[in-house]
Amino acid sequence: MMNRLDYLIEYLLKEDPQYSEMEIPSDLQGKRDLFRALRNVRWPKPISDEFLRFQDEELQEQLQEKGIVELDAVRQFSIFNSQFSISLWQGDIARLKVDAIVNAANSQMLGCFHPLHKCIDNAIHSAAGVQLREECYQMMLQQGHEEPTGQAKITKAYNLPCKYVIHTIGPIIPNGIPTEFQKEQLASCYHSIMACADENRLESVAFCCISTGEFRFPNQLAAEISVRTVNDYLTEHSDCSIKQVVFNVFKDIDRNIYQRLL
């Protein structure tokens, strides 16, 4: 385990001269943190097959340690009808074994470049591996411009237990008071994600709390918009492939809000 991590860290350190003299920690968690941080700041570029093999082994081992959460375990505060179910689950979205999880990305669509940042964009890219940033990079090169707010794009999930990641850009609310247009943008995020999942014939999708936190969309209003938009889409599309929606929350404040709404 330690030899594998040493190889991975030394590979990344040698890639960039500014890190070449960095000391490698002696403890396991220190090595894992440095390995993650170096991947966080790494720009997408070619990488060896051997690195990818060792990286995937390491990330799969970390995933097994954290534990994969199956859909059957996500049953709290659920709404069921003959067509679909809507559930609430609190925890790390990167552990959920669903068809797709949602990533609250930024307009670059390349993941978070701040080492060990606590945002969901960083967590998802870190758990998926460097392949996810590379796929996003190629996708954005082909697109030729930054990703607009309110749309959705789908990628593979790589070392995550889900099959796909659906990325969306939520509105940023500097003063914490969204305009009507920004409310519509947030609703568009949820609608676009549902449409993307439906088009790809996915049966389960897990949503994060888009635009709350650092983007400063009020938690209560954001949750109301998310539940209403998802429910409306499922109700209006009788042939929708999606059978289970999970609202994934991390903070207690969001769990309490969704409990009341559901």
Q: Are 93 and 252 in contact (CB under 8 A)?
A: no
Integer Cα distance of 68 and 85 in angstroms: 21
State residue 50's pLDDT score. Answer: 97
State residue 262's pLDDT score. Answer: 85
Which residue in 63, 88, 31, 99 sits closest to 240, CA to CA? Answer: 99
Maximum Cα–Cα distance across the chain: 60
The three-class DSSP label of residue 211 is: coil
Answer left, alpha or beta for residue 32, where phi above 0 means left and psi between -120 and 50 means alpha: alpha
* Strand ranges of the sheet holding 100-104, from the earlier edge strand across to the other edge: 79-80, 85-90, 244-249, 204-207, 100-104, 164-168, 152-156
State residue 22's pLDDT score. Answer: 87
pLDDT along the chain (262 residues), means of 10: 86 90 91 97 96 98 97 70 82 97 96 96 98 98 96 98 98 95 98 98 97 92 97 92 95 94 88
- In terms of Cβ atoms closer than 10 Å to its own Cβ (0-12, 13-18, 19+), residue 94 is buried
Integer Cα distance of 231 and 228 in angstroms: 5
Integer Cα distance of 108 and 105 in angstroms: 8
Calculate the alpha carbon distances from 154 to 10, 126, 258 in Å.
Answer: 32, 17, 26
Who's near 235: CB < 8 A, 6+ residues apart?
Answer: none
DSSP H or E segment with residue 186: helix 180-199
DSSP H or E segment with residue 96: strand 96-97
Amino acid at 233: Y
State residue 200's pLDDT score. Answer: 98
State residue 82's pLDDT score. Answer: 58
69-261: in CATH 3.40.220.10: yes
State residue 238's pLDDT score. Answer: 87
State residue 17's pLDDT score. Answer: 85
State residue 174's pLDDT score. Answer: 93
State residue 175's pLDDT score. Answer: 93
Tokens of 1: 């385990």
For the chain, the structural domain boundaries read 2-65, 69-261
Which residue in 137, 170, 136 sits closest to 153, CA to CA? Answer: 136
Integer Cα distance of 199 and 240 in angstroms: 9
